[in-house]
Chains A and B, each alone.
Chain A
Amino acid sequence: DGGITQSPKYLFRKEGQNVTLSCEQNLNHDAMYWYRQDPGQGLRLIYYSQIVNDFQKGDIAEGYSVSREKKESFPLTVTSAQKNPTAFYLCASSSRYRADSPLHFGNGTRLTVT
């Protein structure tokens, strides 16, 4: 079955450490996205990528970085510059980067930084 795999499900880090969240999709989708979800809030866009080797900042990109070297993979690095990194992170993909393309989501990674 096609889908999006995020790993790990839970991640704990000490303050000041960078951490990388994995996202892999086998849906052959062109576009991929990273969202952050905080309690009681909707999803906020961190970064997105329309095609391989291209990515753009979303609404809350500060303190995060991404790469898109392969169509299937879109890892997110949470750097020590991110002031409040504890959150639930969701990776998504869509067949095309267009308004009518539904997003398909992974199971998420819950990051806790202490």
Chain B
Amino acid sequence: AQKVTQAQTEISVVEKEDVTLDCVYETRDTTYYLFWYKQPPSGELVFLIRRNSFDEQNEISGRYSWNFQKSTSSFNFTITASQVVDSAVYFCALSEAKDNYGQNFVFGPGTRLSVLP
């Protein structure tokens, strides 16, 4: 069965520090997709990135970077030079194809990041 673990329940950092959010997943499928979402206090989940299981290239987008390692089933998210606006709950999610067509989305429990001024 598929599962997503985010072992860090809460993290607090001071502004300008770098912070890494961990995500470990379990799946039996060879084709799957990994996502990160940000949930600010407003409540809406904001899509940040999607990565497919065949693309292990790391990605950088501004202050955000993602490290995908199939060997350890991890898809970690790093924020460089954190800012107060980064304070949110971050969710990692795994999506497998269901019946070779549909989708089966599983979310981790989330990591609450607090960036202090």
Measuring CB to CB, which residues of chain A are less than 8 angstroms from any residue of chain B?
A: 40-43, 45, 50, 88, 90, 92, 94, 97-108, 110
User: Across the interface, do B33 and A107 meet the contact criterion of CB distance under 8 Å?
Assistant: no
Looking at B4, B9, B43, B106, which has the most chain A CB atoms within 10 Å of its CB? B43
Which of A43, A92, A97, A110 is the most central at the interface, judged by chain B CB atoms within 10 Å of its CB? A43
- Offer 10 A-B interface pairs, CB within 8 angstroms, sorted by A: A40-B109, A43-B107, A90-B43, A99-B33, A99-B103, A100-B50, A102-B35, A103-B45, A105-B46, A107-B44
B21 CB, nearest partner CB in chain A, Å: 14
A107 engages B43 (CB within 8 Å): yes
B28 within 8 Å of A (CB atoms): no
Instruction: Give Cα distance in the complex from A45 to B33, angstroms.
Output: 18
Contacts of A107 in B (CB 8 A): 42-44
Q: Which of B74-117 contact A (CB under 8 A)?
A: 91, 95-98, 101-110
* Chain B 18-35 interface residues, beta-carbon cutoff 8 Å to A: 31-33, 35
Shortest CB–CB separation between residue A56 and chain B, in angstroms?
9
Given A42-B107, A100-B52, A103-B47, list of 13 further CB < 8 A pairs? A42-B109, A43-B91, A90-B43, A90-B45, A98-B103, A99-B98, A99-B103, A100-B50, A103-B105, A107-B42, A107-B44, A108-B44, A110-B43
Residues of the A chain whose Cβ atoms lie less than 8 Å from the Cβ of B96: 99
Shortest Cβ gap from B54 to chain A (Å): 11
Closest to A50 in B: B102
Q: How far is the CA of A107 from the CA of B44 in the complex (A)?
A: 4
Q: Closest A residue to B104 by CB, please name it.
A: A99
Do residues B43 and A99 form an inter-chain contact, with CB atoms below 8 A? no
Given the known interface contacts A98-B101, A99-B98, the answer about A105 and B50 at a Cβ–Cβ threshold of 8 Å is: no
Q: How far is the CA of A42 from the CA of B97 in the complex (A)?
A: 20
Whether B110 contacts A108 by the Cβ 8 Å rule is no
